[in-house]
Amino acid sequence: MEPLVCVDDYEKYAFSFLPRKNLDFYRSGAGAEITLHDNKKAFQRYRIRPRILRDVSRRDLSTTVLGQKISMPIGIAPTSLQKMAHPDGEIASAKAAEQLGTIFILSTASNSTIEEVSEAAPNCVKWFQLYVFKDRNVTRNLIERAERAGFEALVLTVDLPVIGIRLADKRNKFMLPENIEYANFKEIAHELKNKNSKVDLPAYLNSLSDASLQWQDIEWLKKITKLPIILKGIMTPEDALLAVKVNVDGILVSNHGGRQLDGTCATIDVLREIAEAVESKTEIYLDGGVRDGTDVFKALALGAKMVFVGRPVLWGLAYDGEKGVKDVMEILKREFDTTLALSGCSTINDIRSNMVVHESQLSKI
């Protein structure tokens, strides 16, 4: 086998290796998958304007997020059911993030428990992705467990009042493989089993989705936890400003990897206007479509504090567990470092907004 030298190489391997249903669950998007594909293509519409003859012999990729220094502005996004890619699942991903000195976000729908991840990667900067369920006690219990386990922020997903239409999963009649489970809901699964021998935990959890969730519920959340709160799923300046109004600690510009509403904008296309609206009143992060170090540079120039990657981590996980995740993240780090140098920047603070321009504006420069 030829060496894997970029994220696309790991993706091609995963496409050839993973069982069809598992692969389709990871790779697919909502509807016709217009947004899924545009998340990646949109980065190609932006051009870097490098500066030259600057001393870039020493470069520092570190940044500060929520007051904590991390090694690079590239973290691991929450993705569910990671044991479908590798038996070590989220534990492998968290340990890779720990080695790299960056942030790992654990999905609520993980195959490893909050406690297992915390024990396996005690020194990793860990955030917990959260849903506010109809049964608020379920949400409260998850928060309390995350707090006890040393997680340092809550990433509240706000773009899932209902689950998007994912045709690949429908065609495959996707169900959880027998050997894995929604690990954070073992007690609920046990209760359901006692009531009914035919346990359908995914259906039960889907029934808990709260389509009535509103901005005032953020205030409820703030009352029951002292952890910083980040809203994941912001796609407009209007909602970004409402997030600032309720004093959240950060917003994650995200369209759920193209898995919720098809036909929405690519995340990179809305980033600049959101950043301009917010005016540094809260931290801004981005996920969706990041596949290269140049993508990281573009996102930072357009207003993101850092980016998070999801599917590339799964491809690395499928290839070689913890080492595969670490390798993928190091590729992105190396590519970003090279981009930084070739753009005339020694640190992240050297990146300026005018160093990236949309292709439609090139004739006006």
CA distance 259 to 270: 17
Where are the chain's structural domains?
A: 7-364
Check whether 210 has a pLDDT greater than 60: yes
Q: Stretch 174-188: mean pLDDT, rounded?
A: 89
| pLDDT score of 208 | 78
307-324 tens-digit pLDDT:
999 999 999 999 999 999
**Of 7, 71, 95, 5, which is closest to residue 314 (Cα–Cα)?**
7
Active site residues: 256
147-170 tens-digit pLDDT:
999 999 999 999 999 999 999 999
Alpha helices in the chain (DSSP H): 7-17, 20-27, 34-41, 89-100, 114-120, 136-148, 167-172, 186-195, 201-207, 216-224, 237-245, 267-278, 293-301, 311-342
Instruction: Give the pTM.
Output: 0.96
Lowest mean pLDDT: which of 24-38, 89-103, 188-202, 289-303?
A: 188-202
- CATH code 3.40.50.11720 for 7-364: no
CA distance 232 to 285: 9
Q: Which two tokens stand for residue 17?
A: 């290796």
